[in-house]
């Protein structure tokens, strides 16, 4: 062992509420951003708060869609349809 930890994939959770146009746009924008800037280095989970409304309170989600970067820590959140790729990358401090 060298003592160097393997790089963990970036873990992202996208909270949406049903298949609204804004939710669909956020999913598509997130998919595009991850494929372009984090190929093979990310895990994405999409949580529909209409199906699991208790998660909004548990995870302190106050608006939708909300993207949460859980790993690497610290946790970071961004609200919106993720149409501004640069803003998303800077805010989440995602490095290529």
In the prediction, which pLDDT does 26 show? 95
Condensed to tens digits (0 to 9), the pLDDT of residues 23-71 reads 999 999 999 999 998 888 899 999 999 999 999 999 899 999 999 999 8
SS3 49: coil
Query: What's the token pair of residue 63?
Result: 């608006």
C-alpha 95: how far from its chain's center?
Answer: 14
* Closest to 30 measured CA to CA, from 60, 64, 67: 67
Asked if pLDDT for residue 2 goes beyond 50, the answer is no
pTM of the predicted structure, to 2 decimals: 0.85
In the prediction, which pLDDT does 5 show? 46
> What is the spatial distance between Cα 59 and Cα 74, in angstroms, rounded to a whole number?
14
């Amino acid at each position: 062992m060298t003592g160097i930890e393997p790089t963990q994939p970036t873990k992202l959770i996208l909270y949406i509420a049903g298949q609204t146009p804004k939710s669909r746009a956020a999913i598509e924008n997130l998919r595009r951003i991850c494929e372009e800037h984090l190929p093979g280095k990310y895990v994405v989970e999409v949580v529909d708060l209409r199906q699991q409304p208790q998660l909004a309170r548990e995870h302190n989600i106050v608006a939708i869609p909300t993207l949460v970067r859980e790993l690497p820590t610290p946790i970071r959140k961004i609200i919106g349809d993720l149409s501004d790729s640069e803003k998303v990358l800077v805010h989440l401090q995602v490095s290529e």
